[in-house]
Structure 1
Amino acid sequence: MSPRSGGRTGVWSPPVLLAVAIPALFAVAVAVLAVIARTGGLDARPVAETGPFAVAPVEAPAATDPACATLLDALPGTLAGSLPAREITPPTPGVRAWAAAPRPVVLRCGLPRPAELGPTSPLLQVNGVAWLTLDDGVPDPVVLTHVAVDRQVFIAVTLPVATGTGPLQEISDVVAQKLEVRPVPVR
């Protein structure tokens, strides 16, 4: 071939090389991603931590109330069938936690009356317990806190939205069974 015809012997031109290489690289990339996805390498679901859990200190004036002790003693070791209890470190009166992702489920007993509770506050009734629901203030909440407002002590349950309603239903059953109903203290 002559240099004028542009042909070379044994060497591919850049457009031909690109036309062959790009689909081949794409096929390899798809195959690698398929293998990673099958082995769970791209699983973006967070893993629940199960080790000791350090809770932040909060005001809980009635955490040592006998009603809180009764409630905590009656709570299950595994919540909603799959969330194991976590050790609280240091031990904190009125607190229990269970492993969940992306954050644990945390129950606090003996809290002060929530400032958000008023005469027109919407309350969620779950298995006979009135809960005031508070979110984390973002458009798509990551965690919700439900405060039982119709018992002799205030109980807050903070849980990731991803855990669903099972933990709150199970806790509501225990609260309804172990703690007396009281009128909701509105101002």
Structure 2
Amino acid sequence: MDRPRILIAAGAAVLLIVGVIIVSLVYGSREREQASQQPPPTPTRTGPLALVQVPAPQAASADCATLLGKLPTTLSSGDTVLKKATLADPAPPATAAWTDEKTDPVVLRCGLDKPAELTPTTDKLRSVSGVAWLPEDGPDATTWYLADRNVYVAVTIPSTAGTGVIQGLSEVVSSTLPKKF
């Protein structure tokens, strides 16, 4: 009579162990599946921001100096606040950037040559807060070229940023640089 009880107890113990293994496999695979569906955490960028030098023959102009002196320390990008970045040496002249240290930065360059895309027949100009811009879309960003002032400015804005960036910068341009025409 003790032998059947021992077999039943042993069988119950084996079933309990098998059940625990099955439950851990099922829940463990769900957690791994959920973890694989979530994007990896975005690394934080620290330190000065390195930017490539580009030709900017008017970078030392009074207009660029005035504009750079009036740029805000922060810009709104959707729900994110971008802070003005420290640029790595040698920093390009008449350049500023803003970042949240997680996404690609917004970069402003003043004193550039006239963009080839800006012609008298250009029909792609957009007015933002009274400022004419020529947007050129790229795969990951749009570069906005200032079209109606005495100096050419380019603002490269990542695709992930909202429209607040160009609106904020347009307000500064409008109050700082006189219209060319």
TM-score category by the smaller chain?
Answer: 0.7 to 0.9
Aligned to 2:58: 62
Aligned to 1:93: 93
Q: What SS does structure 2 have at the residue aligned with 1:82?
A: strand
After superposition, what is the alpha-carbon deviation per residue over 1:82-141, rounded to whole angstroms, capped at 9, x for unaligned?
Answer: 1011111223321000114431100000001000112133111100110101122xxxx3
Q: What SS does structure 2 have at the residue aligned with 1:79?
A: strand
> For residues 67 and 73 of structure 2, what CA distance do their matches in structure 1 show?
13
Aligned to 1:117: 118
> For residues 27 and 176 of structure 2, what CA distance do their matches in structure 1 show?
61
Aligned to 2:49: 53
- In the alignment of these two chains, the number of paired residues is 160
Query: Following superposition, which runs of at least 4 residues in structure 1 exceed 6 angstroms of deviation?
Result: 20-23
Cα drift, residue 143 of structure 1:
0.6
Is 1:180 the counterpart of 2:172 in the alignment? no
2:156 to 138, 155, 158: 158
Percent identity at matched positions?
Answer: 39
Q: What SS does structure 1 have at the residue aligned with 2:160?
A: helix
Is 1:105 the counterpart of 2:106 in the alignment? yes
Cα drift, residue 64 of structure 1:
0.7
Aligned to 1:29: 29
Cα drift, residue 45 of structure 1:
6.2
Q: TM-score, normalised by structure 2?
A: 0.77
Aligned to 2:6: none
Aligned to 1:16: none
Cα drift, residue 171 of structure 1:
0.5
Q: TM-score, normalised by structure 1?
A: 0.74
Note if contact 2:97-2:105 (Cα within 8 Å) is conserved in structure 1: yes
Q: Which amino acid aligns with 1:57?
A: Q
Q: Which amino acid aligns with 2:180?
A: R
Note if contact 1:109-1:156 (Cα within 8 Å) is conserved in structure 2: yes
> For residues 72 and 24 of structure 1, what CA distance do their matches in structure 2 show?
60
After superposition, what is the alpha-carbon deviation per residue over 1:140-175, rounded to whole angstroms, capped at 9, x for unaligned?
Answer: x31110001100101100010111111111000000
**Please, what is the CA RMSD of the aligned residues?**
2.8
Tell me which moved more, 72-81 or 169-178: 72-81
Cα drift, residue 26 of structure 1:
2.8
